[in-house]
Amino acid sequence: MSATAERDEYERLVLDSVDRFLEKDVRPYAMKLEHDDTYPEDIVARMKELGLFGCIIPQEYGGLGLRPSTYAKIIERISAVWMSISGIINSHLIMSFIVTKTGTEEQRKRFLPKFATGEIRGGLALTEPDCGTDLQAIRTFAKKDGDHYVINGTKTWISNGIHGSAFALLVKTDKDIEPRHKGTSLFIAEKGPGFTVSKKLEKIGYKGIDSAELVFDDYRIPAANLVGGVEGRGMTCAITGLELGRLNVAARGVGIASAALDEAVKYSQQRKTFGKPIHQHQAIALKLADMVTKVHASRLLVEHAAAAVDRGERCDFEVGMAKLFATEAAVENALECMRIHGGYGYSKEFIVERLYRDAPLLVIGEGTNEIQRIVIAKRLIENNPI
């Protein structure tokens, strides 16, 4: 068997085991856990066993070594069943990706094996109460003190903030330098004295996973945890991670859009009005046609973007388009699915209400869709000078 065929077979087996896990361990429990906003401990334990916390970490550091394109397929599958659990691995894997791509060899050896098993789990701490999109305006500051730094500041909306124990933390190490991004640095910050969770944030959807505010109050961190070992590269490290994050969010969009389509296709054949199943009314049939078209187009855009990430190319254009289109498709399909369900769409007994609450997060997270449009347009002009 060729190396390519062997890898394809290995990745197919991983996807099969993810499908089995979702049907057995997630689907039967998702609705209750989500409505109760309960952290899914048992599901997390199974995800650890399956190696999902290390799925894109290279095998030499204990991970499954999957390609980003296979990771995107895993995330689509998970999100079609319960999007929240994709968030438990996503920001953790962004942190892992950052260490893999921009960390020192010592940092890769120290962190990645523990990230891969899920022994250390965590996420990404960029956003602050006063800024999310404009990350160069962050105020959290790290002051050098011998072989340590002392960090003060607040991060908010941090996924896995309560249950995670380590975070890729973006800080300022120079407040005055221009351009501003040269004053940013990124640390792998493990919980300890001076690093506390100040509150759990309540949300309209994306329940089960914890979103929290984190406070750093004279938090001392070894200089050895400065990613890459050099100050001033924080934004570069974060952007490297966000490329994987955006692919993940795009794949979540496909998952939600396709779950909404599946629910609509089922319901429109069960529900009858005026003596016939509602899909036979042209108004409903047209909605279904638009929904399925959006799912297919989104999936193709995600596959196209994922292939570019696999090749290690610059791909903000491709990933941006996939994220923009797939997440808007998720919002639109969730709403159409709700309309197709009539009054039952507004009931908490049907899955569609969760899709409707979860989908809008995707147009905000990992770079809002307004920003995606700006990035796409900028690259379009750069690529087509006159």
Binding interface with ligand FAD (CB under 6 A): 91, 123-127, 131-133, 157-159, 203, 206, 211, 361, 364-365, 368, 370-371, 374
Work out how close the CB of 29 gets to ligand FAD at its nearest, in angstroms, rounded to a whole number.
21
Catalytic residue among 190, 336, 366, 382: 366
For residues 94 and 291, which CB has a smaller minimum distance to ligand FAD in the complex?
A: 94
CB 192 within 8 A of CB 163: no
* Residue 207 or 299 having the CB closest to ligand FAD: 207
Residue 49 is a catalytic residue: no
**Minimum CB distance to ligand FAD smaller for 69 or for 127:** 127
Quickly count: other Cβ atoms within 10 Å of residue 218's Cβ: 12
State the nearest-atom distance from the C-beta of 369 to ligand FAD, in Å: 7
Nearer to ligand FAD, 70 or 91 (CB): 91
Structure tokens at 244: 């994987």
State the nearest-atom distance from the C-beta of 56 to ligand FAD, in Å: 17
Contact 259, 75 (CB under 8 A): no
What are the b/e assignments for 350-371, b being 16+ CB within 10 Å? Answer: bbbbbbbbbbbbbbebbbbbee
Q: Between residues 341 and 354, which has the closer beta carbon with respect to ligand FAD?
A: 354
Closest approach, Cβ 155 to ligand FAD, in A, equals 7
Task: Pick between residue 131 and residue 162 the one whose CB is nearest to ligand FAD.
Answer: 131
For β-strands 122-125 and 166-172, DSSP reports them as: parallel
Buried b (16+ CB within 10 A) or exposed e, 260-292: bbebbeebbeeeeeeeeebbeeeebeebbeebb
Beta strands in 5-147 (DSSP E): 122-125, 141-145
Question: Looking at beta carbons, which residue is closest to ligand FAD?
Answer: 132
Q: Are 155 and 171 in contact (CB under 8 A)?
A: no
Q: What share of the chain is helix, strand, coil (3-state, %, to 5)?
A: 60, 15, 25
Residue with tokens 């300022």: 172
Token pair of 309, please? Answer: 């990430």
Angle at CA of residue 160, ends 256 and 30, nearest 5°: 40
Distance, in Å, from the CA atom of 207 to the CA atom of 144, rounded to the nearest integer, reads: 38
In whole angstroms, the minimum distance from the beta carbon of 385 to ligand FAD comes to 23
Residue 57 CB, shortest distance to ligand FAD, in Å, is 19
In angstroms, what is the minimal distance from the CB of 176 to ligand FAD?
23
**What is the C-alpha to C-alpha distance for residues 302 and 219, in angstroms, rounded to an integer?**
40
Q: Which residues pair with 221 in a beta bridge?
A: 149
**What's the full length of the chain, in residues?**
386
SS3 90: helix
Query: Given the complex with ligand FAD, which of 75 and 361 has the nearer CB atom?
Result: 361
Q: Which residues are catalytic?
A: 366
